[in-house]
């Protein structure tokens, strides 16, 4: 099996990697780097390819998702209410502006 072959991954793992990759691309990461990060995240969450036989897969830990959510929550909690409000208003204006295009 050549390096980088994804045959040993389940369909769920492949979908997860694709979704993560899209998120990185939306944030401006190059396609190659986005793919590399996506598969690294899937490997961290699930321990690698699980398609080895019935009942032999390992459950996903979702460690990366928990880490991201926790970091985001802590960052927001450190900011003042006025700073959070200003950020929300700016985001709403950006969404409205982009929707118009």
- How many Å from the N-terminal Cα to the C-terminal Cα in the chain? 46
For residue 67, tell me if it sits in a domain.
Answer: yes
| Helix (H), strand (E) counts: the chain | 4, 0
For residue 57, tell me if it sits in a domain.
Answer: no
For residue 66, the enclosing domain spans 11-49+62-100
For residue 56, tell me if it sits in a domain.
Answer: no
Statement: residue 32 has pLDDT above 70: yes
Rounded to two decimals, what is the model's pTM? 0.61
For residue 68, tell me if it sits in a domain.
Answer: yes
For residue 96, tell me if it sits in a domain.
Answer: yes
For residue 5, tell me if it sits in a domain.
Answer: no
**Res 17: pLDDT:** 95
Number of domains comprising the chain: 1
For residue 28, tell me if it sits in a domain.
Answer: yes
pLDDT band at 82 (very low <50, low <70, confident <90, very high): very high
Digit-coded pLDDT (tens) for 4-27: 788 888 888 999 999 999 999 999
Digit-coded pLDDT (tens) for 33-78: 999 999 999 998 888 877 767 666 677 888 887 887 777 778 888 8
């Amino acid at each position: 099996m050549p390096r980088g072959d994804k045959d040993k991954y389940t369909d769920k793992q492949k979908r997860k990697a694709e979704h993560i990759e899209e998120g990185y691309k939306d944030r401006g990461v190059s396609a190659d780097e986005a793919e590399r990060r996506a598969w690294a995240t899937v490997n961290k969450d699930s321990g690698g390819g699980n398609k080895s036989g019935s009942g032999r897969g390992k459950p996903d830990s979702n460690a990366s998702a928990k880490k991201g959510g926790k970091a985001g929550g802590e960052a927001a909690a450190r900011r003042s209410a006025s700073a959070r409000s200003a950020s929300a208003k700016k985001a709403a204006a950006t969404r409205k502006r982009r929707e118009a295009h």
